[in-house]
Structure 1
Amino acid sequence: MGIFKPTAMRGRVTELTPDFLSQLGARAVLLDVDNTIASYTSHEPIEGAVQWAQNMVEAGFRVMIVSNNFKKRVEPFARRFGLDCISFAMKPLPCGYLAARKRLQVPCRECVIIGDQIFTDVIGANLCGMKSVLLTPIEPEEGITFKMRRHCERGLREKYRNRKDGIQ
């Protein structure tokens, strides 16, 4: 598998079902925050995200928030969702993902990363031997580095969206 290739692509986190995640072989779910469970400008989760996470836990998944953002941004979401979290995860480096895997006591191959960025979430998952679900970003980011990354991602997203190998 290519380092940029997600295991699957979807629109919003709330579209993911326990059956779908089980089909990926997942027992643990690692959630990004910005543009995954909330827009990057909001302090509120998107509609249905908290209930979705509760449903995943009730379905037997171990769920944790893993974000590159700072503790003061990530911890309020973790409290609202009733989840453990790792902030300043340094994605795509494996350290944050591996720390989450260790806390959740699940092998890497049974973890799925859910996020909106190829160059952090997907690469990090692939480096760790984890699955990934690439989501459509909730809103466009303003910063120049984000705009550059999104520009570079565009072609990869189109390539994977148009393939017929099950990642949709």
Structure 2
Amino acid sequence: MLITPEYVFKDVTHITPEWLAEKGITALVLDIDNTLTADRSQELPEEVAVWLGTMRKAGVRLTIVSNGAEKRVRPFAQKLGLAYLYRSAKPLPFALMAAQHRMGVKRRQMAMVGDQLYADRMAAALYGIPGLMVVPRGPDLGAQVILKRKWEKKHWQKYYDRGGKTL
């Protein structure tokens, strides 16, 4: 269960404040690449901008946690007005702990949103929080991620084999 998804959403915009409230989640740790935007893009899709506004209006606390370098993460996060952690070394959970303390929430109140099982899902599992996985927003541009996607296929299949649905 460390890698197999718990929840899968068609897109980050399908995660609603109502769904989060049902689960007692008041804070989200957000990945960037292929979660909020396409891989390596600095452009935020309009529907994601609207979603971020909806989350803020609902009082959901948001922090970006990315394995990307500062030169990738900082301008993107600053454009959105979000706190951020870069080079977070996911799947190690230390950046999630830092994000929790920055947001001032209990662990049971937060979840990780991302697209990679071997980074985002595993970090969430190791930290003991829900992993809200999303279908990637675009193609992967890095060879390392492309290779991980091949390894992830069996874990995605386990989710669907046990009756999991894309929300």
TM-score interval w.r.t. the shorter chain? Answer: over 0.9
1:10-159 correspondence to structure 2 within 5 Å: 10-159=9-158
After superposition, the CA RMSD in angstroms is 1.6
Aligned residues of 1:50 and 1:80 also touching (Cα < 8 A): no
- Comparing 141-150 with 122-131, greater Cα deviation is found at 141-150
Report Cα offsets for 1:84-142 as digits up to 9, x if no partner. 11111110101111000010111112111100000000000011111111111112213
Aligned residues of 2:114 and 2:120 also touching (Cα < 8 A): yes
Paired position in structure 2 for 1:4: 3
Report Cα offsets for 1:51-103 as digits up to 9, x if no partner. 21121111011111111101111112212221111111110101111000010
CA displacement at 1:166 relative to structure 2: 7.1
CA displacement at 1:167 relative to structure 2: 7.6
C-alpha distance in 2, partners of 1:76/1:54?
A: 19
Q: Give secondary structure in 2 for the equivalent of 1:51.
A: helix
Q: Give secondary structure in 1 for the equivalent of 2:46.
A: coil
Percent identity over the alignment is 34
Query: Which structure is richer in relative contact order (CA contacts within 8 A, separation 6 or more)?
Result: 2
C-alpha distance in 1, partners of 2:51/2:150?
A: 30
Q: Give secondary structure in 2 for the equivalent of 1:68.
A: coil
Paired position in structure 1 for 2:162: 163
CA displacement at 1:46 relative to structure 2: 2.3
TM-score (norm 2): 0.93
Question: Structure 1: which 4+ aligned runs deviate by more than 2 Å?
Answer: 161-168
